[in-house]
Amino acid sequence: MSTPVIAITMGDGAGIGPEVVVGALATQTVYERCHPLVIGDARRLRAAARLMNVEVEVVGVDSVGDARFTPGRIDVIDLGLLPEDLPWGELSATAGDAAYQYIRTASELALAGEVQAICTAPLNKEALHAAGHLYPGHTEMLAALTGTEEVSMMLSTPKVKVIHVTTHIGLIAAIAKIEPGLVERTVRRGHEAIRASGVDAPVIGVCAINPHAGENGLFGEGEEEEKIVPALERLRADGIDARGPLPADTAFFLAGRGDYDLIVAMYHDQGHGPVKVLGIEAGVNITVGLPVIRTSVDHGTAFDIAGTGTAEVGSMIEALRQAAELAPAAAG
């Protein structure tokens, strides 16, 4: 199968997105796995290259067909939406709108079959909202732009992978939203994604909602029996090795030592906290359920260091690696 084309969205131009994109694409091994095409602002990328002290040629192209995909050259579909004097590290509605437009363009290319995956640099939710794009984050935006009714967020590190039943909503709302159908669909999406990455029979640990998985009714109001157990029974009946409900603290410890291929977290912080302790420096965010593979760095815009040339690029390199690894199966 031919090398996948990966659309890399530049993220919020006032944050570290331009720097991590340039730094990653200055790494020759990236081009051995994929054909990277940036959707962003060529002038900002050139500024980032100077900050990062990397020798690359940033070339604006009009289409995927115009890109050369050669090391030392960064091909970019240049939307030219950022002013030359945009400050680094400051909230900007202009940068927020540009970040949305990069995602919109990448989604259109993906739906047209011109790119096989999307890899996103971080955006700033406050800037996005200031520009009038009222999405909780990348995951929900990509779902809307691709007409996808339901997706899941998966975080992947070298030690553990976790998929979330709920994400960007409050804790009380999350518990209310959790129900057997949603749990079942989330586990199935995760099972398919892990199989696509080369694990034939994934072992999946499903977290409980309450401490100690409810301790046989001592904690909570029976949420595990009502909201999780029926889903696990249906999944196991279909041959999916989904175990639980598990106390979350124990589940992540066991996953960290290799007992589980995937952990299912019930809400945002239940999954994000352990993942960021175990490997944020190489963490990757994967949106599961879209009609196109989407990966992302697992860090934010880091306004505090934006424009200093010190951004760590390892997560972007890993996000591109995983996008390239998953994309051929999606395109096949």
pLDDT score of 281: 58
Residue 329: pLDDT band (50, 70, 90) is very low
Q: What is the mean pLDDT of residues 117-129?
A: 96
Residue 299: pLDDT band (50, 70, 90) is confident
What φ, ψ does residue 121 adopt, rounded to 5°? -80, 160
Cβ proximity of 298 and 124 under 8 Å: no
CATH topology identical between 1-148+290-332 and 151-289? yes
Enter the tokens of residue 164: 């979330």
Residue 330: pLDDT band (50, 70, 90) is very low
Q: What percent of the chain has pLDDT over 70?
A: 97
pLDDT score of 214: 76
Q: What is the mean pLDDT of residues 234-252?
A: 96
Q: Three-state DSSP class for 262?
A: strand
Cβ proximity of 296 and 326 under 8 Å: no
Query: Is it the case that residue 332 has pLDDT exceeding 50?
Result: no
Query: Could you state, in order of their start, the residue ranges of all structural domains in the chain?
Result: 1-148+290-332, 151-289
Of 113 and 332, the one with more pLDDT: 113
| Topology (CATH level 3) of domain 1-148+290-332 | Isopropylmalate Dehydrogenase (3.40.718)
Residue 282: pLDDT band (50, 70, 90) is low
Residue 139: pLDDT band (50, 70, 90) is confident
pLDDT score of 298: 76
Q: What is the mean pLDDT of residues 75-81?
A: 98
Residue 331: pLDDT band (50, 70, 90) is very low
Lowest mean pLDDT among 211-215, 316-320, 321-325: 211-215
Residue 213: pLDDT band (50, 70, 90) is confident
Cβ proximity of 99 and 127 under 8 Å: yes
What φ, ψ does residue 25 adopt, rounded to 5°? -80, -5
Lowest mean pLDDT among 98-107, 139-148, 289-298, 322-331: 322-331
Question: Which of 272-281 are b and which e, b meaning 16 or more Cβ less than 10 Å from the residue's Cβ?
Answer: bebbeebbbe
Q: What is the mean pLDDT of residues 263-289?
A: 85
Give the whole-angstrom CA distance, residue 118 versus residue 5.
9
Superfamily of domain 151-289: Isopropylmalate Dehydrogenase (3.40.718.10)
Enter the tokens of residue 199: 């694990």
